[in-house]
Structure 1
């Protein structure tokens, strides 16, 4: 059986075989039987490289963070994660600059530290362990945003919708007008950041 450590656009952690393009973590979420027993332990949910400086890890080893996996960066952002400051330093710096440019008012006068940014993002991602979503016009959403329709997640990319799965995307045969109201999975501050020319990394199935 595959480990329960693959993250979907809702931020839920699933047991599937597909690994994806990125690693990440939210702290130690597993027990000694390598079972997921917590949604998160920290507010700084990060997205990491699959390989970094030759480091090797045992999956769900005792007393260490739980390795989570994401199809791509758009999936990770939808789930509420952000780039790691260690293994993805350049991307992290770009993220912080673009996030602050689009969302500094959300800090309400607090210092522009990553800890304070993480606090804002945490308020956008979860309410009582449930995914926070919101509704807006389809035409207001930039590339890289994930939306929910029925029970599925779709990626907006180059004026088209792509059905998300753990193994990749497929072009969706759905027509949505610009003024149609849709349910958004990607946190609001990330959507604003995407509108500020920050483009998430997309799986090559597109």
Structure 2
């Protein structure tokens, strides 16, 4: 059975056979049979983790009290509102916190989560989106381009799919719908660089 555990930049969680580069956690979301329940989070501490840590892989259905979610790469995880895990990605988490401090002021991980949560999702489980000038968006941001999620990177837009990114496209002119939460957008603007899928040119 293909599990419903892949998170898209638009916030949906789908079932797809393609594998992601990263995993993450929002609490226990699945039923005993492995299907996804109604909840999309059980706590505000949404993290993005390595697939393997210290040579261990928990598998797609961990039995220690959480649901493993998967992302194509870190830019997708950030668009969905996740931050780097302090445990398995300590160095990246410190880089993220430093950029957060530059952009939004110093904060602990729980304080970051409290600020992030209303900026990423509504009580009705809808992704929070906003409009901004495409020309001012930082590398690593996600937008809607012609109705499709697209990554902004090095002056180009790359349309997302669960298997990877398409060919480079021009960045739209004027205002666009931004998927990446505003506080994380500020972190990207402050210099944080996410881990990207190899389908995006380095």
Check whether TM > 0.5.
yes
Tell me what 2:72 maps to: 71
Correspondence 1:159-174 to 2 at 5 A: 159-174=155-170
- CA gap of 1:196–1:60, structure 2 versus 1, over 3 A, is same
C-alpha distance in structure 1 between counterparts of 2:188 and 2:62, whole Å: 35
Tell me what 1:13 maps to: 13
Tell me what 2:154 maps to: 158
| Residue 137 of structure 2 corresponds to residue 141 of structure 1 | yes
* Structure 1: runs of 5+ lacking an equivalent: 105-110
- State the SS of the aligned residue for 1:127: coil
- State the SS of the aligned residue for 1:90: helix
Which of 109, 113, 116 is the equivalent residue of 1:118?
113
Is this contact kept in 2: 1:24–1:48, CA < 8 A?
yes
Is this contact kept in 1: 2:100–2:187, CA < 8 A?
yes
Alpha-carbon shift at residue 100 of structure 1 (Å): 1.7
Correspondence 1:17-96 to 2 at 5 A: 17-37=17-37, 38-62=39-63, 64-96=65-97
Q: What is the root-mean-square deviation of aligned Cα atoms in Å?
A: 1.5
Query: What TM-score comes out, normalization by structure 1 length?
Result: 0.91
Aligned length: 198
Alpha-carbon shift at residue 174 of structure 1 (Å): 4.6
C-alpha distance in structure 2 between counterparts of 1:58 and 1:138, whole Å: 38
Alpha-carbon shift at residue 20 of structure 1 (Å): 1.3
Is this contact kept in 2: 1:24–1:46, CA < 8 A?
yes
Alpha-carbon shift at residue 11 of structure 1 (Å): 2.0
* Structure 2: runs of 5+ lacking an equivalent: none
- State the SS of the aligned residue for 1:121: helix
- CA gap of 1:175–1:119, structure 2 versus 1, over 3 A, is closer
C-alpha distance in structure 2 between counterparts of 1:189 and 1:152, whole Å: 22
C-alpha distance in structure 2 between counterparts of 1:118 and 1:173, whole Å: 33
- CA gap of 1:185–1:61, structure 2 versus 1, over 3 A, is same
- State the SS of the aligned residue for 2:110: helix
C-alpha distance in structure 2 between counterparts of 1:56 and 1:160, whole Å: 34
C-alpha distance in structure 2 between counterparts of 1:95 and 1:126, whole Å: 20
